[in-house]
């Protein structure tokens, strides 16, 4: 009904799209009440209507001929980058059983979607060396269904040293699926300006109304459970807080405050450089128990997230022992070893072997790592 050009038809089994007619407006995706049009394959040659009516299941994704432009290669590179970022869990990551089904690869390097900058706000103190910004993208009616924990690609303009167009850079979304405010359907990112960084400087310099090329969404496993009984243990450093913000807002909108429902260990150099320090101070403990730790405050010993986890051993042990617990670790790759050691000690204190518990949690879609 939404398709104004009549590209969509169906029989009793299948809803099919006539590639000859389809203009790729994507208007059918968010409104499909049956979920029928919620997955597709990127193909070299479109399937005929006859092929599609014959499907009992969607065919496997084919290898894509990327031609000379290597744009398909770019998207494959992104998938490989995410697999690498998620490898810290020590095996093949799995989505939580109750997670919503994510859309992926809606927009590619060859066919990005153009978003408009709706806002860009500095999250860190003016005196802080660290310039971290909250950047809001508006897709202005173009469908961009994204779940908390997924990533999007940003294509910086221009070309690299070899004269090739820049690869898209990945950022986690920091807004919940329905937008910064419910039903606004905009998307926010948490971006730290890196010295010499091509994409971070490009993004941090964008002004309201500027346009940006976006690919994605990407990622199928670093997602939150939709089960209201699930508990979240979130461990992050710096801008690794982006998905944790999205998770917290999603749960606030759907589950509400629930003692013990969400606990966060969040590390930054100083309060001034901790992204979302101000807004976090307004989040009640009944929604989110916060352990904010700092590594470079004058006159105070250096503290990392894993140090605080050890200090709060009993609290972490109680969370670990709960079969409803889901763990999320996001941020610097370097934190993994320390966090792993903390979990090993804490698990031992309750007579559990961490490696076995972690592997079981990962297989059940309850243990997630995204580190760079």
The stretch near ligand NAP (CB under 6 A) out of 31-39, 74-82, 244-252, 299-307 is 299-307
Rounded to a whole number of angstroms, the minimum distance from the CB of residue 135 to ligand NAP is 10
Cβ nearer to ligand NAP, comparing 214 with 305: 305
Q: Which residue has the tokens 């590179």?
A: 77
Instruction: Give the separation between CA 372 and CA 358, rounded to whole angstroms.
Output: 20
Comparing C-alpha atoms, which of 155, 140, 64 is closest to residue 107?
A: 155
372 binds ligand NAP (CB under 6 A): yes
Rounded to a whole number of angstroms, the minimum distance from the CB of residue 357 to ligand NAP is 21
240 binds ligand NAP (CB under 6 A): yes
What tokens does 124 get?
Answer: 């860190």
Rounded to a whole number of angstroms, the minimum distance from the CB of residue 8 to ligand NAP is 35
Over the range 83-103, which residues count as b (16 or more CB within 10 Å of their CB) and which as e? eebbbbbeeebbbbeebeebb
- Which parts of 149-189 fold into alpha helices (H)? none
Cα R_g (the chain), whole angstroms: 22
Report, as residue numbers or ranges, the catalytic residues. 171-172, 330, 370, 372
DSSP per-residue string spanning 320-372: HT-TTEEEEEEE-TTHHHHHHHHHHHHHHHTT--HHHHHHHHHHTT-EEEEE-
> Site size for ligand NAP, by CB under 6 A?
27
268 binds ligand NAP (CB under 6 A): yes
Single residue of 88, 238, 261, 365 touching ligand NAP by CB under 6 A: 238
247 binds ligand NAP (CB under 6 A): no
Is 253:182 a contact under the CB 8 Å cutoff? yes
258 binds ligand NAP (CB under 6 A): no
Rounded to a whole number of angstroms, the minimum distance from the CB of residue 318 to ligand NAP is 23
The stretch near ligand NAP (CB under 6 A) out of 31-39, 216-224, 257-265, 298-306 is 298-306
Sign of dihedral through CA atoms 24, 250, 274, 117?
A: positive
Cβ nearer to ligand NAP, comparing 24 with 372: 372
Cβ nearer to ligand NAP, comparing 47 with 304: 304
How far does Cα 235 stand from its chain's mean position? 15
Interface characters, 119-158, with ligand NAP (x: CB under 6 A): -----------x----------------------------
Comparing C-alpha atoms, which of 174, 180, 115, 169 is closest to residue 141?
A: 115
Binding site for ligand NAP (CB under 6 A): 130, 171-172, 190-192, 237-240, 242, 267-269, 295-296, 304-306, 330-332, 334-335, 338, 370, 372
């Amino acid at each position: 009904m939404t398709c104004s050009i009549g590209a969509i038809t169906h029989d009793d089994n299948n809803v099919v799209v006539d590639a000859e007619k389809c203009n790729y407006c994507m208007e059918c995706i968010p409104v499909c009440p049956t979920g029928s049009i919620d997955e597709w394959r990127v193909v070299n040659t479109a399937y005929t209507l006859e092929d599609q009516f014959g499907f009992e299941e969607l065919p496997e994704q084919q290898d894509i001929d990327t031609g000379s432009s290597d744009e398909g290669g770019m998207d494959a590179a992104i998938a490989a980058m995410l697999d690498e970022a998620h490898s810290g869990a020590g095996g093949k990551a799995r989505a939580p059983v109750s997670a919503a089904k994510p859309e992926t690869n809606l927009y590619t390097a060859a066919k990005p979607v153009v978003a408009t900058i709706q806002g860009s706000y500095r999250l860190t103190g003016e005196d802080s060396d660290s310039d971290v910004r909250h950047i809001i993208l508006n897709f202005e009616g173009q469908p961009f269904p994204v779940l908390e924990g997924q990533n999007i690609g940003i294509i910086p303009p221009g070309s690299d040293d070899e004269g090739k167009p820049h690869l898209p850079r990945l950022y986690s979304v920091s807004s919940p699926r329905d937008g910064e405010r419910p039903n606004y359907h905009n998307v926010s990112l948490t971006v730290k300006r890196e010295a010499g960084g091509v994409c971070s400087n490009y993004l941090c310099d964008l002004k309201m109304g500027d346009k940006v090329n976006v690919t994605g969404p990407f990622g199928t496993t670093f997602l939150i459970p939709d089960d209201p009984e699930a508990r979240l243990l979130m461990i992050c450093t710096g801008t690794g807080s982006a998905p944790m913000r999205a998770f917290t807002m999603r749960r606030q909108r759907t589950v509400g405050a629930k003692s013990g429902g969400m606990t966060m260990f969040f590390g930054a150099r100083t309060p001034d450089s901790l992204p979302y320090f101000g807004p976090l101070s307004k989040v009640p403990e009944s929604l989110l128990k916060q352990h904010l730790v700092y590594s470079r405050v004058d006159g105070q010993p250096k503290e990392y997230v894993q140090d605080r986890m050890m200090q709060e051993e009993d609290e972490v042990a109680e969370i670990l022992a709960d079969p409803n617990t889901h763990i999320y670790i996001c941020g610097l790759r370097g934190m993994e070893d320390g966090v792993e050691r903390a979990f090993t000690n804490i698990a031992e204190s309750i007579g559990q072997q961490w490696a076995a518990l972690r592997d079981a949690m990962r297989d059940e879609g309850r243990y997630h790592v995204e580190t760079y």
